[in-house]
Structure 1
Amino acid sequence: MRLDSSTFPVVKIVFDAPNEGGPEDALLLFEGLLARGQAFVLLHEKAVDESNYEHSHEERKQASIWMKKHKQALHTFVKGMIQVEPSAAKRLALKPFAVMFGKAWGYPLLVVESSDRAWALARDVLDERVSDVAHF
């Protein structure tokens, strides 16, 4: 997993690209994003290809422990992960996974058909956060 925060508060995430320092460094980068104390969204623009990259058992275990440790911050600052999936059939197939994902990670998985739609949705999600804060 690689994170690119150059367009923060939209953080690009690439799962099939290893981070230079391995999974631990990716989680440290994620911690740094949470430490900013600002709302952001994750954006994965590449269509899902499960055969292309699979996390090892150890990576999944580390992610699970990390996720539990940072549960509150994830829920507070990550407003969603947006997944681009051009295939209507694959978007439909991702719906049950999206429900489980949201319960596990504490933020929703939003699946859209194009990068243009993903960026528009990212702006909408972040604008809702600003609007919510403004009304309180």
Structure 2
Amino acid sequence: MRLDSTTFPVVKIVFDAPSERGPEDAFRIFESLLARQQSFVLLHEKAVDENNHEHSHEERKQASIWMKKNKQALRAYVKGMIQVEPSAAQRLALKPFAAMFGKAWGYPLLVVESKDQAWALARDVLDERVSDVAHF
């Protein structure tokens, strides 16, 4: 996983790209984003590739431990993860996963058809949080 915060408060996330210093580096970068104490959204612009998105048991275990340790900050500052998925069938198939994802990570998984829709939704989510209007 690689995180790119050059467009903060929209942080691009790429799952099939290794972080320069391994998986632990991605978590350190994520922690530095949380330490800003500012709202942001995660944006995954690449369509889901089910065959290339398997994590080992150890990776899932590390992520779970990290998530529990950072639960409060995740809920406070991450306003959602936006997934671009051009396929209508895939978007529909992601609905059950999105519900579980939100409960586990503490922020919603929002699935849209295009990059343009993703960036527009990111702006809306962040604008609504600023004005304290609930989006979800």
| Bucket of the pairwise TM-score, normalised by the shorter protein | over 0.9
Aligned equivalent of 1:56: 56
Cα RMSD (Å) of the superposition?
A: 0.9
Q: What secondary structure is seen at the aligned counterpart in 2 of 1:24?
A: helix
For 1:96, the equivalent position in structure 2 comes to: 96
> What is the alpha-carbon distance in structure 1 between the residues aligned to residue 103 and residue 129 of structure 2?
20
Q: Distance in 2 between matches of 1:45 and 1:102?
A: 19
Query: The residue matched to 1:122 in structure 2 has which SS?
Result: helix
Instruction: Show the counterpart of 1:31.
Output: 31
Q: What SS does the corresponding residue of 2:130 show, helix, strand or coil? A: helix
Shift of 1:52: 1.7
Q: Normalization by structure 1: what TM-score? A: 0.96
Deviation at 1:53, TM superposition (A): 3.3
Alpha-carbon distance in structure 2 between the residues aligned to 1:50 and 1:24: 23
> Which position in structure 1 is the counterpart of 2:81?
81
Cα distance in 1 for residues equivalent to 2:112 and 2:73: 25
**1:10 maps onto 2:10 in alignment:** yes
Cα offset, 1:102, TM superposition: 0.1
User: Structure 1 residue 57: deviation in Å?
Assistant: 1.1
Gaps of 5+ in 1: none
- Paired residue secondary structure (1:97): helix
How high is the TM-score relative to the length of structure 2? 0.96
Residue 129 of structure 1, CA deviation? 0.7
How far, CA to CA, are the matches of 1:46 and 1:63 in structure 2? Answer: 21
Percent identity, please. Answer: 86
Runs of 4+ in 1 over 4 A off after TM superposition: none
Aligned to 1:131: 131
Task: Give SS of 1:121's match.
Answer: helix
Deviation, structure 1 residue 72: 0.5
Q: Which runs of 5+ in 2 are unaligned?
A: none
State how far apart, in whole Å, the 1-side matches of 2:25 and 2:53 are.
Answer: 18
Partner of 1:44: 44
CA distance in 1, matches of 2:111, 2:36: 26
Superimposed CA distance per residue, residues 108-133 of structure 1 (whole angstroms, 9 cap, x where no aligned partner): 00000000000000000000011118
1:19 alignment counterpart: 19
Give SS of 2:94's match: helix
Alignment: residue pair count: 133
Q: Residue type of the partner of 1:43?
A: L
